[in-house]
Amino acid sequence: MMKLSSVDATKIAGVLKLSADEMRKLAAERDALREENETLRTERRIDGIKQKMAEKGSSNPFGTEEELDGALRKKASDGTLDVFEQAVKMSAHLSISSLGEVLDGTEKKAEFKPSTQSKSELDAFVLGD
């Protein structure tokens, strides 16, 4: 067994203290980088959702662009962004039926009823069939 002098023991203790301090610094840096990475991933996801909404012609249910950003960030922090993202993915593209409806009936709005015949004629006209 090797015996250490008091000088050697002091050197070893100093090295251990320095290495412990460095490890704490590295752990703090690692944690900060993880947090920044998570923030960037969330931003990228939110941008993707907004892009998909624009591609599909979805209306913004939150009003302005800033309100949409805020709502999506809140959903991300609540852990519900996945649900909203799935809803956007499953939503249909803007279609003719979402622009209006063909109604048959009298002039009184309460008596108007959807007409499948008129709708199919409108679809054929618009689509060129």
Q: Tally the domains of the chain.
A: 2
Examine residue 111 and state whether it is found in any structural domain, yes or no: yes
Examine residue 120 and state whether it is found in any structural domain, yes or no: yes
**Residue 113's pLDDT is what?**
55
**Residue 124's pLDDT is what?**
74
**Residue 107's pLDDT is what?**
53
**81 & 36 share domain:** yes
Which pTM does this prediction carry?
0.56
**Residue 47's pLDDT is what?**
95
Examine residue 1 and state whether it is found in any structural domain, yes or no: no
**Residue 119's pLDDT is what?**
67
**49 & 108 share domain:** no
**77 & 103 share domain:** no
* b/e 3-24 (16+ beta carbons within 10 angstroms → b): eeeeeeeeeeeeeeeeeeeeee
**Residue 10's pLDDT is what?**
85
**59 & 120 share domain:** no
**86 & 25 share domain:** yes
**69 & 24 share domain:** yes
* b/e 66-93 (16+ beta carbons within 10 angstroms → b): eebeebbeebbeeeebeebbeebeeeee
**50 & 86 share domain:** yes
Mean pLDDT for back-to-back runs of 10 residues, the chain (129 residues): 75 86 95 97 95 84 88 93 90 56 53 61 71
**84 & 108 share domain:** no
Q: What angle do CA 52, 54, 56 make, to 5 degrees?
A: 70
Q: Which domain holds residue 60?
A: 8-91
**125 & 70 share domain:** no
**29 & 79 share domain:** yes
